[in-house]
Structure 1
Amino acid sequence: MTKPSSLQRLLSNISELRKEGKFTDLSFTHERGTFRVHRIIVCPQSKVFRKACDGGFKEQSEGLIKLGHVPYEHLARMVEFFYHMDYSEKLPEGTQESTLGLHAQMFALADQYEIPALLSMSEAKYSERCVKAWEPLDFLSSVSAIWESTPTAVQGLRNTACVAVRRHLPDMLEDSSTAERFKNTLSECSAFARDLLDSYIKNPLFGYCQMCRSDHGMEPLPAR
């Protein structure tokens, strides 16, 4: 078992203080509940919340930041990440959201509130699941979350999703129901179709690199 780092131990100790309601000086308010947090933990990790802590955020009022527009479960995971540098992938019973959809939504949340570490982690979790626990229908259900919840300039997760399609496309097309769902997704999300086509144009050949353990565009070497 990996020994916790000094930072992880510190965050864990402060998380216990938060559970006890000690020294919390900032609140995220939601119609389903309020999350009491510590500015010293939250604000350094997010450019947006740092601005709030400096008094320059219009939604802040006496240490309160209204986040009712954020799904409650996603807000809870964001707070969890601030204190543990990770978030739970467990989905509540009866939810229609897939695990890949969850990571896509956390990526969008991280982009909205400018949380670089959460942005990187959610993208890594998404990519890892595409490799280790590929479920084509779950993937296709996450497409709209990626292309509708993040701006065009944020390409990280879009590129990851396009690579996942190219890796699994032959198998997806072999199953008639998956192939039909894939075609419908292309029709419903034209931006996804365009980015996928661009991926093929820019990198006609893709291969897996044994050194960095990821997929990359390949260039044919001249040979006789």
Structure 2
Amino acid sequence: MNSFRAATTKLLDNEKFSDFTIICGATGREYKAHRSIISSQSKWFDRCCARDFAEGQQRVAILKEDDPLALKKMIEYFYKFRYSDRLSTVRIRPSNVIAGGAASDFDDVADVDTSSIIKPSIQLHAHMFAIADKYEVSDLKGFAQTRFREELAANMDSITVIAAAIRAVYLEIEMPDSDRALKDLLTIAWVVPGKRRHLQDHAEELRDEFEACPDFLFDTQVLLLKAFSSSERYPRFFCTECESEAVVEDEDAERVGQNSWLRCENCGNYSYPHWIEFSADLKIERWWASEDHQFLTGDTCSMVWVAKQEQRGDRDELKGWSIS
């Protein structure tokens, strides 16, 4: 896979054998692409490259409605199977290209400020999730969701990041009502104990986001009503000392979700819980994570909570906050 990725990466910066041109409608920038590469990853481009469509016959597609940076990163993903978080400027070509002028190489293109609205990395991941859904790039959509999840988990103390995430998910991108992946990640992150006290202390700083995104407030209230049971069985955790399930004692309730010890009512010992279950609908787990958010084991790592949105309550390799 590494050798194949290296080979396709070289094609990204080399027009050799390119047989399709993608033009960003907002900037006029041209991307020389290869039909075999883009059509194999995108169902939309697979249809577009067919001779039944004008784009397939002319071998040119002008994409007028996409954010320039998100489009650039999607094309980067086609060739590298990942995209970087570096938010560089996007070069703009004179408008005569879109108006019907000749589409030439980049000789007449200068580096100028981008028209992209994307600034923080978490905003980028939200836009990548949306553009992947639009062009039916399933692997990119999963990759962007994972990056959004990791960025959110690593920045729960940052009001700036939380605000950018709320605006990106609820105002900037368009997703079908049935696709709640990023919305669920945000609402779960907001209501899970541990970071909630910090967010409450700075809630006034998010007033603009709350007023602009009432759907976010509605979603959090629905989750609160659904997820946190008043039953005496919750919240409960798995004690690593006696390897049994125990209910969190009242005096430990404020520390649930933080990197702190919890006392087991069964054995009387304190342990770091591997998971905490708040109800039949909400369970969170935590894993060792390095500074670059790679999940592994070892004494040099710090314990963090990570966001996880699950379908049908099942699990994958990246565990964390989950909603059944």
Aligned partners of 1:25 and 1:36 also within 8 Å = yes
Moved more, 88-97 or 63-72: 88-97
TM-score by length of 1: 0.82
Whole-Å Cα distance in 2 between the matches of residues 92 and 23 of structure 1?
Answer: 27
C-alpha displacement at 1:210, in angstroms?
4.4
Identity %: 22
* 2:164 matches 1:172: no
Structure 2 equivalent of residue 203 of structure 1? 227
Distance 1:181 1:22, change over 3 A: same
Give the deviation of 1:16 after TM superposition.
1.3
- What TM-score results when the alignment is normalised by the length of structure 2? 0.59
Structure-2 residue corresponding to 1:37: 33
1:145 corresponds to? 168
Assess, with a 3 A threshold, how the Cα gap between structure 1 residues 56 and 166 changes in structure 2: closer, same or farther: farther
The aligned residue for residue 221 of structure 1 is none
Cα distance, 1:59 vs structure 2: 5.4
Q: Which has the higher contact order (CA 8 A, sep 6+)?
A: 1
Distance 1:120 1:57, change over 3 A: farther
Distance 1:62 1:96 in 2: 31
Deviations 1:91-141 (A, max 9, x none): 238876211111111111111111111111111001101112332222212
1:28 is paired with a residue whose SS is: strand
| Residue 3 of structure 2: aligned partner | 9
Distance of 1:60 and 1:97 partners within structure 2: 34
Give the alignment of 1:81-96 within 5 angstroms: 81-92=77-88
Q: Which has the higher helix share?
A: 1
Task: Tell me how large the CA RMSD over aligned residues is.
Answer: 2.4
- In structure 2, which of residues 212, 215, 222 is the aligned counterpart of residue 188 of structure 1? 212
Q: Which residue of 2 aligns with 1:131?
A: 153
Pair 207,170 (structure 1): closer, same or farther in 2 beyond 3 Å: farther
**What's the secondary structure of 2:40's corresponding residue?**
helix
Kindly tell me: are residues 96 and 40 of structure 1, through their superposed partners in 2, closer, same or farther at Cα, counting changes over 3 Å? closer
Match of residue 319 from structure 2: 213
Q: Deviations over 1:165-186 (max 9, x none)?
A: 12333211113xxx11334322
> 5+ unaligned residues in a row in structure 1: which ranges?
1-5, 219-224
Distance in 2 separating the partners of 1:97 and 1:61: 36
Q: Distance in 2 between matches of 1:164 and 1:9?
A: 38
Structure of larger gyration radius: 2
CA contact (8 A) 1:60 1:66 kept: no
Aligned length: 209
Structure 1 segment 21-170 matched on structure 2, within 5 A:
21-30=15-24, 31-57=27-53, 62-92=58-88, 97-134=119-156, 135-148=158-171, 149=173, 150-167=175-192, 168-170=195-197
Q: Is the 8 A contact 1:101 1:139 kept in 2?
A: no
Gaps of at least 5 residues in structure 2 are 90-112, 229-277, 288-317
TM-superposed deviation, 1:58:
5.9
Match of 1:214, SS state, is coil
What secondary structure, in the 3-state scheme, does the structure 1 residue paired with 2:321 have? strand
Deviation at 1:214, TM superposition (A): 0.3
CA apart distance, 1:21: 1.0
